[in-house]
Amino acid sequence: MQGGLPSLELVERVCSGERRAVARMLSRAEAGGEEAREALDLLYRRAGRAHVVGMTGVPGSGKSTLVAKLIAAALAAGRRIGVVAIDPSSPFSGGAILGDRIRMGEVSGHPAVFVRSMASRGALGGLAPGTLEAVDVLDAAGYDMVFVETVGVGQDEVDVVRAAHTTVVVSAPGLGDDIQAIKAGILEIADVHVVSKGDKPEADRTVTDLKAMLGLALPAAGLKRPVPVIKTSSARGEGIGELLAAIDAHRDHLVASGEYQGRRQAIRERRTLKAAEQILHEEFERHRQGRMADLVAELAAGTLSPQTAARRLVARIGTEIVP
């Protein structure tokens, strides 16, 4: 127990939407550890109603400001909104550099909004350890939409597509390239494309170029529906309602086409594999001076390949940690 109530006692309070309980459980999800494992598993089974929206894009594209505007529009429609915002880690504390209330402005204090900043802790893929369990907590707490805003590192943002039902890629004109999403290698992961800072004169050119590239690249991917490209201006409040409608339309499409369950299953499978990787890593590090010492020694001597060592590691650990 990390101070306060045991995790299991927080489950019902989280499910009733008690903010303090939600905050405590989010902290335990981020910290990891076995004490909260059973509670997080229970919350996972209570989750599954929220629409999870991934927001990604290169630094300087205005994701945080755009998310704040989206939250305001969703609140006007009577929704409850959760946000997991992934920030770079402080090199000193390891915590998130940017604070949730700083990045989301006034909307973070609204009683129907819960914003949580999480440190990336060096993780690749734009997400942080514990991100999806934090989504489970907010989902189980009754938030209708949960936005996951990635760290904004550019080329390693693709993990968000394996975590969200709808992925929004944000590009901004005037950042050095006509289409930043292409440079970042994330053009194809978008369910919705956004050109932010639409009040800039280069914005229309970026929209046109994106549509042209999508017309060339995406038919080969076998997509069944066109990917919308929406121009927004957070400064002027333009395009925000259209963007929210496009996000809702994508979810409706997934449900109507039967793809929604397939996407949810893909997320579950990806989470299982990531959890298995983490377990193997932790077990190897924990026992490298003990029962893994022979593997380490053979690797050091060059008499064992990493592939064979990995197979032995899986076989050795697998029978010991299954409940």
Q: How far is CA 115 from CA 1, 11, 165, 182, 263, in A?
A: 24, 19, 19, 30, 25
Whole-angstrom Cα distance, residue 173 to residue 179? 7
Residue 218 — pLDDT band, cuts 50, 70, 90? low
pLDDT 10s digits, 251-267: 999 999 999 999 999 99
Tell me the torsion sign for CA atoms 19, 20, 22, 23: positive
Instruction: Compute the C-alpha angle 36/132/66, nearest 5°.
Output: 135
- The pLDDT value given to residue 101: 46
Chosen CATH of 47-258 out of 3.20.20.80, 3.40.50.300, 2.60.120.380, 3.30.70.2740: 3.40.50.300
What is the pLDDT, as a whole number, of residue 209? 83
Count CA within 13 A, CB hemisphere, residue 100. Answer: 20
Q: How far is the first Cα of the chain from the last one, in angstroms, to the nearest whole number?
A: 21
User: What are the tens digits of pLDDT across the range 107-140?
Assistant: 878 999 999 988 765 444 445 568 889 999 999 9
The percent of residues above 90 in pLDDT, for the chain, comes to 44
User: Is the pLDDT score of 307 beyond 50?
Assistant: yes
Helix (H), strand (E) at residue 85 = strand 81-87
| pTM for this predicted structure | 0.85
Q: Give the confidence band of 190 by pLDDT, cuts at 50, 70, 90.
A: confident
Buried b (16+ CB within 10 A) or exposed e, 192-208: bbbbbbbebebbeebbe
**Residue 230, φ and ψ in degrees, nearest 5:** -120, 130
Asked whether residue 92 carries a pLDDT value surpassing 50, the answer given is no
Looking at residue 93, its pLDDT comes to 40
Residue 24 tokens, joined: 């405590």
Lowest mean pLDDT among 14-18, 177-181, 276-280: 177-181
Contacts of 27 (CB under 8 A, 6+ apart): 2
Kindly state the tokens that stand for 64.
Answer: 């945080």
For residue 69, how many other CB atoms are within 10 A of its CB? 25
pLDDT recorded at residue 260: 93
Provide the percentage of residues in the chain whose pLDDT is more than 70: 78
> Does 88 have pLDDT greater than 60?
no
Structural domain boundaries of the chain?
Answer: 47-258, 267-321
Question: What tens digit of pLDDT does each residue of 132-177 get?
Answer: 899 999 999 999 999 998 866 454 456 676 789 999 988 888 765 5
Q: Who has greater pLDDT, 60 or 47?
A: 47
* Count of residues making up the chain: 323
